[in-house]
């Protein structure tokens, strides 16, 4: 098996690349960066390409020898990504990339989707068999890609897996994420507020995400697969835990918001398929994940 990953320099992608390299998988990484890191560069085939251009996509697939494509790349600018028109550019580019991959002899296609494809209006526990009803443009374009890619794969004989990722966290996450955003203020002794401390969401540590994706890639599982912890945790609890670990409890305030369609009380994933068909279980509890994230922050200061 030779695997080609797009978005291998991103938050999820870099963790997945590290995991697959440690498992001695024959790996290609398509990226618009000249290099990843020194250790990884020497163990993967790096393909430099801009996937938003037709020439970039064609050149990347031409250089690839992979039978499995893991497509993670997407627009992810903090804060604005859920409503950006650039999601449409990635939808178009992804569809063309899939077609080129199949025409180049590709056999298995795995794409990273999002929990935001579900209709979160009233919260609850979401199963792969539930109807989608995305509330954001980001979720809508992802759901559109899933529908077309699934149909195209059925027509052409591609093995197809769509992984719906819920709320990943850990070292390397975007600065607008809950814990990193709070840390940035707290470490400078600035007041920080977790406004929605009563809401519960399904967070999963990034190394557990990478392990789940790795197991899915190396399996023959097809269809839709939730990637999540399967448990929900209060945002207020996570915020207090981080503040405690970095000794900034007095600078943190935790509030509550009214429960509405825009802010349902609880959202979590049904992970029975992930656990039963793949045999996956999380290695990191929420507490352990937050501890490792805090340690990462503090070590960065010391260095």
Pairing of strands 45-48, 108-114: unpaired
Most confident stretch, 8-12, 30-34, 94-98:
94-98
Q: How confident is the model at residue 275 (pLDDT cuts 50, 70, 90)?
A: very high
Mean pLDDT score, 130-158? 97
Mean pLDDT score, 41-64? 94
87 contacts 125 by C-beta, under 8 angstroms:
no
∠ at Cα 71 (158, 1), nearest 5°?
A: 60
For domain 175-202+231-266+285-302, the CATH superfamily is UDP-galactose 4-epimerase, domain 1 (3.90.25.10)
Q: How far apart are CA 220 and CA 283, in angstroms?
A: 23
Q: Where are the domains of the chain?
A: 2-168+205-227, 175-202+231-266+285-302
- What pLDDT digit, counting tens, does each position of 12-23 carry? 999 999 999 999
- Whole-number pLDDT of residue 78: 83
Mean pLDDT score, 241-270? 96
Residues 6+ apart with CB under 8 A from 77: 84, 86
Q: How confident is the model at residue 194 (pLDDT cuts 50, 70, 90)?
A: very high
- Whole-number pLDDT of residue 41: 74
- Whole-number pLDDT of residue 32: 85
pLDDT beyond 80 at 278:
yes
Its sign, for the CA torsion 10, 16, 146, 63, is: positive
Mean pLDDT score, 254-273? 96
Q: How far apart are CA 210 and CA 205, in angstroms?
A: 9
Q: For residue 137, how far is the Cα from the chain centroid?
A: 17
DSSP annotation of 131: P
pLDDT beyond 70 at 87:
yes
Alpha helices (H) along 124-192: 137-156, 178-186
Q: What percent of the chain has pLDDT over 70?
A: 97
Q: Please tell me the class of the 2-168+205-227 domain.
A: alpha beta
pTM of the model: 0.95
């Amino acid at each position: 098996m030779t695997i080609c990953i797009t978005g291998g320099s991103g938050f999820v992608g870099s963790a997945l690349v590290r995991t697959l390299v440690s498992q001695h998988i024959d790996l290609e990484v398509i990226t618009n960066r000249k290099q990843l890191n020194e250790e990884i560069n020497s163990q993967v085939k790096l393909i430099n390409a801009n996937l938003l251009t037709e020439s970039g996509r064609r050149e990347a697939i031409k250089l690839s020898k992979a039978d499995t494509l893991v497509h993670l790349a997407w627009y992810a600018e903090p804060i604005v990504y859920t409503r950006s028109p650039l999601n449409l550019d990635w939808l178009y580019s992804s569809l063309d990339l899939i077609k080129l991959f199949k025409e180049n002899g590709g056999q298995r296609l795995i794409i990273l989707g999002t929990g935001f494809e579900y209709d979160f209006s009233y919260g609850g526990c979401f199963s792969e068999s539930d109807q989608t009803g995305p509330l954001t443009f980001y979720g809508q374009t992802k759901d559109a890609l899933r529908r077309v890619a699934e149909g195209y794969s059925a027509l052409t004989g591609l093995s197809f897996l769509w992984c719906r990722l819920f709320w990943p966290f850990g070292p390397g996450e975007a600065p607008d994420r809950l814990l990193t955003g709070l840390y940035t203020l707290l470490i400078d002794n600035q007041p920080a507020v977790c406004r929605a401390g009563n809401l519960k969401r399904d967070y999963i540590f990034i190394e557990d995400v990478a392990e789940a994706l790795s197991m899915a890639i190396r399996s023959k599982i097809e269809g839709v697969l939730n990637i999540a912890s399967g448990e929900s945790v209060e945002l207020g609890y996570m915020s207090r835990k981080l503040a405690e670990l970095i000794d900034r409890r007095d600078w943190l305030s935790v509030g509550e918001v009214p429960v509405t369609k825009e802010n349902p009380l609880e959202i979590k994933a049904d992970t029975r398929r992930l656990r039963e068909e793949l045999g996956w279980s999380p290695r990191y509890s929420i507490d352990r994940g937050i501890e490792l994230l805090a340690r990462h922050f503090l070590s960065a200061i010391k260095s």
